[in-house]
Amino acid sequence: MLVLTNERSGQNYLLQASDSNGGILQSLGLVDGTGNFLNQQMPTDASMKVNGLLVTRSGNRGLSDIIHGLTIDLAPDAEGKSATLEVTSDVSAARKAIEDMLGKYNKLMDYLSAKVTNLKQTDGTYKRGALAGDYSIVTLRMELARQFGAAVTNSGAFGMLGEVGISLDDSFKASISDAAKLESLLLSKRSDVTALFDQLSTNLTTTIGRFTGASGYMASVSSALDRQLESAKQQIDAMNSRLATREEQLYQQYGEIQAQLLTMTYMQQQFLAMYGNYNVYK
């Protein structure tokens, strides 16, 4: 059996066909002698009631414009049946986003701490951080910690992370200290929590931006170090050139001295050959 199906559904999409040459469709049993489909199923729209309101759509699947935030798929045997949908907020994605942000903040603080502090080794000695003497990096670490714990001016009802269940420990590490409070506020006052984190993220990005990017502190320091390295390289090249010249001079002097010694040795041999050895006795 050959079945023709329209790729679009709904009563506005009627499938039509006709033989342009001969009677192929008729011979296949798809149309009758007048060109009408045999066993044709007329297209219809899906019809349903949502909270008593009649809704029609041209298809049964991917209905995302009926209930905000939901996508509905109607089963083939759904005619005459009803269902109750219970919609609750899912805070898992929002909490994961917050945890990711805290994780990245803590990772940055760990990195900065390792660079600006003197770490005690297992043998009792201390290893100086590579940037321990860089006041700008030390200031950046303290400023990030201050911003994370300080009040944040924003459009929402919360001004500090402590109000939504997040705190800093003594090492400036951030964590969710009251998960129940955070999830409750994400359900009841998500926009206020979002406003707090959005503004905090903006503040942190601005602070970090002074150190990153093409015109930031790190780029400036890197350029300065590159210039110092280039200057040192030029000095080393100049010194190597002078040493090479001095080496050549010393080789030349050594050669001249060797030539003089050979000449004196030859003259001694000639003198001995001519006059022999004379010993003077008293």
Q: How confident is the model at residue 4 (pLDDT cuts 50, 70, 90)?
A: low
pLDDT higher than threshold 70 for residue 3: no
- Give the list of residues 6+ apart from residue 145 with CB closer than 8 angstroms, or none: 109, 168, 172
The position carrying tokens 């420990």 is 169
pLDDT of residue 10: 64
Mean pLDDT, to the nearest integer, of 24-50?
Answer: 71
pLDDT higher than threshold 60 for residue 256: yes
Q: In the chain, what's the furthest Cα-to-Cα distance? A: 159
pLDDT of residue 271: 83
pLDDT of residue 119: 76
CB contact at 8 A, 149 and 168 = yes
pLDDT of residue 157: 94
Using CA atoms, how far residue 89 sits from 43, 180, 205, in Å, is: 37, 15, 29
How far apart, in whole angstroms, are the C-alpha atoms of residue 279 and residue 114? 84
How far apart, in whole angstroms, are the C-alpha atoms of residue 172 and residue 116? 14
- The residue ranges of every structural domain in the chain are 1-44, 47-75, 92-209, 230-277
pLDDT of residue 224: 85
pLDDT higher than threshold 90 for residue 254: yes
pLDDT of residue 196: 95
The position carrying tokens 């010393």 is 250
Mean pLDDT, to the nearest integer, of 42-47?
Answer: 74
Structure tokens at 74: 């109607």
DSSP one-letter string for 182-213: HHHHHHH-HHHHHHHHHHHHHHHHHHHHTTSS
Q: What are the residues facing 56 on neighbouring strands?
A: 47
Mean pLDDT, to the nearest integer, of 38-63?
Answer: 79
CB contact at 8 A, 256 and 263 = no
How far apart, in whole angstroms, are the C-alpha atoms of residue 213 and residue 218? 8
**Cα 115 to chain center, whole Å?**
21
Please report how many Cα atoms fall inside a 13 Å half-sphere around the Cα of residue 190, on the Cβ side.
Answer: 11
DSSP one-letter string for 102-162: HHHHHHHHHHHHHHHS-EEPTTS-EE--TTTT-HHHHHHHHHHHHHHHS----SSS--SGG
Question: Lowest-pLDDT range, 30-44, 88-102, 213-227?
Answer: 30-44
pLDDT higher than threshold 60 for residue 281: no
Mean pLDDT, to the nearest integer, of 213-239?
Answer: 87
Query: Residues 86-133: pLDDT tens digits?
Result: 877 788 899 999 999 999 999 999 988 888 888 778 888 888 877 777
Query: Residues 149-200: pLDDT tens digits?
Result: 899 999 999 999 999 999 999 888 999 999 999 999 999 999 999 999 999 9
pLDDT of residue 276: 67
Higher pLDDT, 14 or 55: 55
CB atoms within 10 A of CB 43: 15
**Cα 45 to chain center, whole Å?**
46
CB contact at 8 A, 131 and 103 = no
pLDDT of residue 22: 64
Average pLDDT of the chain is 84
